[in-house]
A and B are shown apart, each in its own frame.
Chain A
Amino acid sequence: MDLFEYQGKQLLRTFEVPVPEGRVAATPEEAEEAARGLGGKVAIKAQVQVGGRGKAGGIKLAGSPEEARQRAGEILGMDIKGHRVGRVLVERAGDIAGEYYVSFLVDRSNRDFLGMMSSEGGIDIEEVAARSPDSIARVHIDPLYGFSDFHARTLVFGSGIDAAARKEALAILPKLYDAFVGLDASLVEINPLVLTGEGRVMALDAKVTLDDSAAYRHPNFDELKAAHEVPEQERLAAEKGLNFIKLDGDVGIIGNGAGLVMSTLDVVSNAGGRPANFLDVGGGAGADVLTAALEVITSDAGVRSVLINIFGGITRCDAVAEGILHAFRSFDVTVPVVVRLDGTNAEEGRRMLAESPQDNLIPADTMLGAAEKAVELAKEAK
């Protein structure tokens, strides 16, 4: 789960990482109240999970509570690259003497942790890496032994941040590492880490990604998740325990296993179609799961045909067929549904479908044939 900036900062504060004083607001009035409480000049920052919000007008300064209300009114409700702004963070603003970059992440390539620091902050790190790779210092950290003082020195001196920021940066790095490990994060990125006019170092922004698999040992996980707006169809799917991602095409996809579903999307795309979604019913899905999956897919008015591609292992194709037939009996399935079954009990499943013929239930023998048929039917329905 990717956290909002304000959530990430709240969590970092519990690890004693210095962050600017701030409050979150969902209305212009709340923003005014927050600005009054903070006093002085404040920054109003759109809470969206997408880069480049500053350029898009999602960050504005305000010199008074009244101005804060006005600026918040402009930002709230904005659309930034497809993300609607539902909250702003109102933060005390001050002078900035230096901007740096620091992050800790799980390094998949080396199967360890990677710490990175750069003297160039406030811009995308991929851009910095391409333009001035020498400004980035990296350390690999053995998860068994943890973060040592020399790691911090390697980052601070290696990145060449301003001398005035060194002492506090050296003190902040172990705290950030503790937060990274303690939160079960896969990424903690501070961009920028700033040196203020008063000579303090603090996290001006925070991008924190938590590991969903570790949710069970973090009691606040559900509360953090509740702040995220989820599209209606994805919410419905999650309620039914389905792994669903909305895409923008018109061929609905249902399959079992993440790899097979990804492959099915690709095959549909190669056949000239556009997948409407990713939906993985998981391993060992029963009839009820298939019925629920069809219900979720057909709730999207943009879907013109559906492709069900199942390779039975633990999942039994007879149970899949039962679920499909149950869906046809329980609600109005108006779009054509192409079904390809292989693997465990496939013959039985195919026989069940053949014995209950429906005009818009089309069996297919192969994955490629099924994809072509589903694409053709979606085009005909246009």
Chain B
Amino acid sequence: MAILIDEGTRLVVTGLTGREGRFHAKRNADYGTKVVAGVTPGKGGQEVDGVPVFDTVREAVAETDANTAMVFVPARFAADSVMECADAGIDVIVCITEHIPAMDMARVVPYLHTRPSRDITLIGPNCPGVISPGKANVGIIPGEVCAPGPVGLVSRSGTLTYQIVHELTQRGIGQTTCVGIGGDPIPGSDFIDILGRFEEDPETELVVFVGEIGGDAEERAAAWAEDNMTKPIVAYIAGFTAPPGRRMGHAGAIISGSSGTAQAKKEALEAAGIRVGTNPTEVAQLVQKALG
């Protein structure tokens, strides 16, 4: 088992004909992911690396039974593309695009949640995607650093996730699924959404939780986990040395007033009985110890 994506994933890529979209879709296909369709309005009928391109997501779904979407279109079109995927019947949407206006995401997220009798999951935007090692890779996480195994990972960051996964894999500890929920202020899924899925996944034995400064998603997740998680969690928080009021690369990584500090997040996690590593290496060591 894994969460969100696996051998049954049939992927449609919006923005497949773009340079980035094509490059990463190819890498995902090479990893073994079933990339079944691309969508670029006006380019229907073309093929990219053997993958048929359609004008609309609806058409792509009808022709190829795609069940998962990866959004790779530029920021000003991305919010619309996410809604198009949802409207076409896709239930798992992974949006890699960075710099989508927060106002747009503030409308997209409730739109997804108000579709009648549907359970739509959006991962991202501004995220590295999702990988279930050995099964499927949707996004830009380098498959080489991952290995199949019992650890679920959820993170707001990209390369920091690779660093931690790398340290785990080096110690012979593989992963069920690694989920990058992204560094935006309004993510489609937050820590709680993903923790819940890992709790239900029979193969996941332990969860690694990678947070950073800004907002209170870590604090809320800590409180939720205390009441709802039976599986152990090992956490890491980045940004202890970040100055207040400055955006540290990610749109969501900012300390506003006295809220959103790394220290407050660490304390909330520890109060919920979650161990917090002081650096990526220590996180891997704590995981190793916990798994026995």
Contact = CB atoms under 8 A, between A and B. Distances in A.
Interface of A: 106, 108-109, 111-113, 126, 142-144, 181, 184, 186, 211-214, 216-217, 243, 245, 247, 255-263, 265-270, 275, 278, 280, 283, 311-314, 342-344, 366-368
Given A259-B210, A266-B239, A266-B241, A213 B249 contact: no
Q: Which of A126, A186, A256, A311 has the most CB of B within 10 A?
A: A311
A108 B217 contact: yes
A368 B250 contact: no
B158 to A, nearest CB: 5
B106 A111 contact: yes
B162 A313 contact: yes
Given A259-B249, A343-B142, 19 more contacts: A113-B106, A143-B106, A144-B110, A211-B103, A213-B102, A243-B249, A245-B243, A258-B212, A258-B250, A259-B157, A259-B159, A260-B162, A262-B241, A262-B253, A263-B163, A263-B279, A266-B238, A268-B241, A344-B144
A342 B166 contact: yes
Nearest to B75: A213
Contacts of A265: 239-242
Nearest to B278: A270
B44 interface: no
B215 A259 contact: no
A268 B160 CA distance: 15
A260 B238 CA distance: 8
Given A106-B102, A258-B250, A266 B240 contact: yes
A73 B76 CA distance: 45
Interface string B233-271: 000101111110010111111000110001000000000
Do most interface residues of chain A lie in helix, strand or loop, or is the interface mixed? mixed
B71 to A, nearest CB: 15
B82 to A, nearest CB: 14
Contacts of A258: 157, 183, 212, 248-250, 253
Contact of B212 (A212, A243, A259, A283): A259
A101 to B, nearest CB: 14
A108 B185 contact: yes
Interface string B57-94: 00000000000000000011000000000000000000
A184 B239 CA distance: 27
Contacts of B210: 259
B115 interface: no
Interface in B259-289: 262, 278-281
B249 to A, nearest CB: 3
25 contacts: A106-B103, A112-B110, A126-B258, A143-B110, A144-B107, A184-B103, A211-B251, A213-B251, A217-B76, A245-B243, A257-B157, A258-B253, A259-B155, A259-B157, A259-B161, A266-B278, A269-B240, A283-B158, A312-B142, A313-B128, A313-B141, A343-B142, A343-B166, A367-B279, A368-B279
Contacts of B140: 283, 313-314
B284 to A, nearest CB: 11
Nearest to B236: A263
A342 B140 CA distance: 16
A283 B159 CA distance: 9
Given A214-B101, A262-B253, A311 B163 contact: yes
B148 to A, nearest CB: 19
B156 to A, nearest CB: 7
Contacts of B215: 108-109
B267 to A, nearest CB: 16
B229 interface: no
> What 7 A-B pairs come out closest when comparing CB atoms?
A259-B157, A258-B249, A257-B159, A259-B160, A214-B101, A262-B238, A260-B159
Q: Which of B75, B109, B163, B253 has the most CB of A within 10 A?
A: B163
A32 to B, nearest CB: 34
A257 B160 contact: yes
Given A106-B185, A111-B110, A260 B141 contact: no
B218 to A, nearest CB: 11
A262 B183 CA distance: 13
A269 B278 CA distance: 11
A311 B157 CA distance: 13
Nearest to B215: A108
B114 A275 contact: no
B241 A311 contact: no
Contact of B248 (A245, A267, A368): A245
Contact of B281 (A243, A255, A366): A366
Contacts of A343: 142, 145, 162, 166
